[in-house]
Amino acid sequence: MVTQLRAGFLWGASTAAHQVEGDNVNSDWWVREQQRPPEQRSGSAVDSYHRYPEDMRLLAEAGLDAYRFSIEWARIEPAEGQFSLAQLAHYRRMIDTALETGLRPVVTLHHFTCPRWFAEHGGWLGERAIPQFERYVERVTAILDGVDWVCTINEPNMLAMMESLAAAYRSGEFSATVEEGRPPVLPAPDPQVGARLAAAHHAARAILKSHTGAAVGWTVAAGALTATPGNETILREVREVREDFYWRAAREDDFVGVQAYSSQQVDERGVVPTPPSPDNTLTGAAYRPDALGAAVRHAWDVTGGVPILVTENGIATADDERRIAYTADALRHLFAAIDAGVDIRGYLHWSALDNYEWGHWEPTFGLIAVDRETFERVPKPSLAWLGNVAKQGGL
């Protein structure tokens, strides 16, 4: 059976501003990175801030027709209430360049980073967090002409998890797990932060819907969790705090972004750490191309049938043939879900470029390699391969 893709199915790749632009000096992550050794900082990243036309051209030449990138709030509003017209114009140029290059822009408004002043005021739990985010979103709507897809907040469940992680570090709980030699399991997202993010997302959606014609959604990190025998109830509880709350918050959205990489089990003690294996990817995740199929089906069930855009899927590997094998298999699982009736609007691979993986440079997810001294781009065979899949509309 040949899978019927919807007309206008997006085939593309994704990036996030902080991971590729470089010199994002006004963001909270930049501040945090300064405590790390220099080789673990973002620095000039891969200089996509200046080289985005080349990045876009490489994607389009390969045959892709969509590019997901994010707008950096810390550049647009480097000091509270002070908006940079030049930076707004920069992102407008990116949108124009994407359109002229033949790529449909999928624009994310918040991808993990925020301005340092926002973090200093308490971040997402700060008293004025929502009106501050609303004001930023409102400013950005002015440059979104021609953009059909807007993601408000990337992986709110991971963002809320980062708050829990920071608290676990403060209390010593997290380092204790690491010292005992057990591979760490990321803590559950902080529900208070999660609730704030959902409110911020809904507020942003209202602004975007009244000022633009774009489809609006947010993108959720999907764990593709499964229960070990007898632990279905625990699975439901774990899934509720880690992701289902976030899928349900998307029920009134135009689409929901699904981001899936791997899968984990849940037993009577909760999420089971991924055992070491030579098959694990460079982030230590299990090699599970089937995760994407499970993730889209779960998102479809919990949202009650909200259309899905795969906004991230990929593998951290230095072996590009393995990237192709993983992606081909992930797409087979995606197509099976489409055949089963799940409404999928596109597939955006993570990532367009090898980039800054939040504290590390070793886990390479890119379809394009980058020399970090000269910034020279070298497309990998996987880019041509995915471009061909896009041109053929299937495997």
| Footprint on this chain of ligand BGC (rule: CB under 6 A) | 16, 19, 154-155, 158, 221, 259, 283, 312, 350, 357, 365
Mark 182-215 as b/e (b = at least 16 C-beta within 10 Å). Answer: eeeebbbbbeebbebbbebbebbbebbeeebebb
Least distance in Å: CB of 29 to ligand BGC? 11
Nearer to ligand BGC, 231 or 244 (CB): 244
Contacts of 93 (CB under 8 A, 6+ apart): none
3-state SS, residue 79: strand
Nearer to ligand BGC, 119 or 221 (CB): 221
Is the Cβ–Cβ distance between 367 and 64 less than 8 Å?
no
Q: Give, as one character, the DSSP assignment of residue 307.
A: -
Least distance in Å: CB of 158 to ligand BGC? 5
Nearer to ligand BGC, 105 or 363 (CB): 363
Nearer to ligand BGC, 73 or 231 (CB): 73
Nearer to ligand BGC, 180 or 279 (CB): 279
| Measured distance CA(231)–CA(268) in Å, rounded | 6
Least distance in Å: CB of 155 to ligand BGC? 5
Least distance in Å: CB of 363 to ligand BGC? 7
Least distance in Å: CB of 261 to ligand BGC? 6
3-state SS, residue 149: strand
| Measured distance CA(235)–CA(213) in Å, rounded | 38
Rounded to 10°, the helix 156-171/191-211 angle is 150
In angstroms, the Cα distances linking 21 to 25, 119, 250, 356 are: 11, 20, 29, 10
| Measured distance CA(65)–CA(12) in Å, rounded | 6
Nearer to ligand BGC, 63 or 246 (CB): 246
Least distance in Å: CB of 111 to ligand BGC? 6
